Every structure is written in structure tokens, then in C-alpha cells.
Amino acid sequence: MRIIADIDIPDLENLLASGDDLQCISGREINPDSIRHADVLLVRSITQVDGHLLGDSDIKFVGSATAGIDHIDINHLQTRGIYFSHAPGCNADAVVQYVLSVLCRLRPAWRELSVGIVGCGNIGGRLYQKLKVLKVRTVVSDPFLNESQVPDLNSLEQTLNCDIISLHVPFTDNGNYPTSGFINEQLIRRLPSGSLLINTSRGGIIDSDALLDRLRRKNDISVALDVWDSEPNINIALANKADISTGHIAGNSYEGKRRAAAMLRRSYLRWRRDHSVESPAFKYTPQVINMKNGRDPINDAILAVYDVLEDDLEFRASVLTSKNLGDAFDRYRKNYRVRYEFAHYYPRLSVSIAGDLEALGFAKTRLMASEPF
């Protein structure tokens, strides 16, 4: 098989089966000519896979190392009989941890506030579970669920009336519940003064112009945005006004990227009917974080592992000041630092909050402060 793959998908050498020929190129350089004679195409979210790209190519298998699939024309693939695979849930923990870091930075008393979750799938559902363990007052809106599945299910209006609103919906422009622009001008006007809006799903679900207008006119809400309309050529005015701005990296963890590659590998070998080789496992020994005695040990532990402000400052310095915004945005993502998830660490903290830290995803061993160094 001849495989064309985005060069930024990790561990591609482990994907190969006997006789495969792999060529890696930039995701934005994948075009009809580059894939014309390929059998397999492996992409990330920056490559739009549709009839224009596939043209008269020989592609038989498309894999996306992503959880979302709004960049894939599923109907076109089905019409042509092209097998498709992606990686739902691969980066769910990383995105949840991004949200928690935002809360620590912008609402340090977040455990005393109400949190509204719009969309309770792989990511929103995981955030919901963690908040419930910590006894955070939570309201959920998701038209595909019922109260037997999520006891805190409520209307969209009630969810958007919370102190904190976190968006976790796929981008769709069809079906019974399209999400394209569904956080519209009317809803944005009704957001409570003092509330915090977080978007880690897709930029297109928010009316960016209406949000920017609210921030310019009243500036009475906080905003954390990781995703944008028309990436990589984003709305720079909105990015400058947001309290936290980052470049589509919320799910960009070491573990998340490798989960995605491993999921693609399993699907590819299953499609090839090759079950002879097991997927390689990545293992590491959790590392110690020696915590200071701060006012809030849970917030301290989260920020010690991942501080979203570092990504915000880098984004503003390297992207928002650049004369070539699109190239700078892509560079920011390509050169993003190695970021490990909470499970990679165990803080030396009081045993009294060990259960809370475990619920958030930290390593489950050696959490007691009394343990010797």
C-alpha cells in the first residue's frame, strides 16, 4: 500500500504493514496531485477531505488522527466506498485538563460556582464526571441524552445561565441539531454578566462577530478560546480581546496524539485483515511534583502540571504579533511543546485530597506528604 500521511502524526512508522510505502508531507500541502496514486490517506484536522481533494485518486482508506470529523466529507467517502476511521475520545482527557487549567486561572473559586456543559459526549461527559466527584454544581445541555443518562440535564437556556459555560459539541451544519453558529447573537447577549465562556470544540459554533461586539461594548464576561473561525486565519481582534487565547492545542497532549495514532493503526490493520502485530504500548513512570503549601492545593496541583497561561502568552507573542498570521498559527501548533496529562504526575500533597486528585486523573499512587523523598 502507498500511504500519504500528515507529517505531524506521531509514530507513523509503527502503522506500517508488510510492503507499505509511506510518504509524509505537511497537512496543508496534501492536494489532489500528491495523493493521486496513493491507496491510504492519513490526516489531521487541517486537511479538508472531500471530493475536490480525492478527485480521481486511488484512495481506499482515509484515517484521521482526530476526535472531530467536520473536515471529512463522510457522504462522499461512503458514495465511493472508501473506508474511514478516526479517533473519538483520543484527546478527551487533555481537553478536560485544559478546561480545568482555565478555571484555575480565570475563576480560582470554581468549585463554589455553577458550571454549564453544552454537549456531554466524550469530552463533555468526562468533564461532567470529574466535576460531580468534586461536588461542583453542574448543569448539562445535550439533545441526544435523557435524564436517566445525565441527572443534571436541563435546557440550553438554563445551562448558559451558569457562572461558567464550557462548550463541547461537534461542528455540524445539518441534521436536527446543527451547531454551526448556534451560540448566536441572541444567546451571547443573554450570557450573565460576570460569566466565563470556554470554547474548545470548534470556532464555527460561536458567532464570533457577536461575541466580539459584546466584549467591546460591555466587556462584562470572560472568554477563553482555543478554536477559531477560518483557522489558521483567525479573528485577531477577538483573540486580542479574549482573556485566554490559544491555537487549537487544548487536546494536544503527548498521550492524546499517541492514542490517536494507535487507534488508526488498529483500524488500518483490521481493514488490511492483518492481525499479526499488536499495537505498541507507550509506558512511563509517573513523576513527582513537590508542591508548595498554597491556599488551594487542587488548583496548585493542576497549574503545576499544566498552566494554560503559558500557552496563552506564547500564542500572543508568536501568533498575534505576526505579519503572516496563518503561517504563525500553523507554526505554533507544529512546534507546540510536549505536554503530558495528569496521569503522568503525582503531587506530594496531603492524603486528605488524594481522592479528588485521583478523580481529576492524577497518578493513583504515593500521594501522601509523609512519604520520604
pLDDT digits (tens, 9 = 90+) for 175-203: 899 999 999 999 999 999 999 999 999 99
Dist CA 362 CA 71 (whole Å): 33
> Are the folds of 92-245 and 287-360 the same?
no
What's the average model confidence in pLDDT over 88-97? 96
- Rounded to the nearest integer, the mean pLDDT of the chain is 91
pLDDT in tens, 208-239: 999 999 999 999 999 999 999 999 999 999 99
Task: Measure the CA–CA gap between 309 and 101, rounded to whole angstroms.
Answer: 8
Q: Which CATH number applies to 287-360?
A: 3.30.1370.170
Q: Give residue 296's identity as a one-letter amino acid code.
A: D
Domain boundaries, the chain: 2-88+254-271, 92-245, 287-360
**What CATH number matches the domain at 2-88+254-271, 3.40.640.10, 3.40.50.720, 3.40.50.300, 3.90.1300.10?**
3.40.50.720
Q: Which residues are catalytic?
A: 202, 231, 248
pLDDT tens by residue, 329-372: 999 999 999 999 999 998 876 667 888 888 999 987 554 433 33
The upper half-sphere exposure of residue 154, i.e. CA atoms within 13 Å in the direction of its Cβ, equals: 14
Instruction: State yes or no: pLDDT of 279 exceeds 60.
Output: no
Binned at pLDDT 50, 70 and 90, residue 16 comes out as confident
b/e map 184-208, b = 16+ CB within 10 Å = eeebbeebeeebbbbbbbbbbbbbb
Q: Say if residue 109's pLDDT is above 80.
A: yes
Distance between CA 322 and CA 303 in Å, rounded?
28
pLDDT of residue 371: 37
Q: Which residues contact 270 (CB under 8 A, 6 or more apart)?
A: none
Instruction: Give the class (CATH, top level) of 92-245.
Output: alpha beta
H/E/C letters for each residue in 62-94? EEECCCCCCCECHHHHHHHCCEEECCCCCCHHH
> pTM score > 0.75 for this model?
yes
CA distance 22 to 1: 8
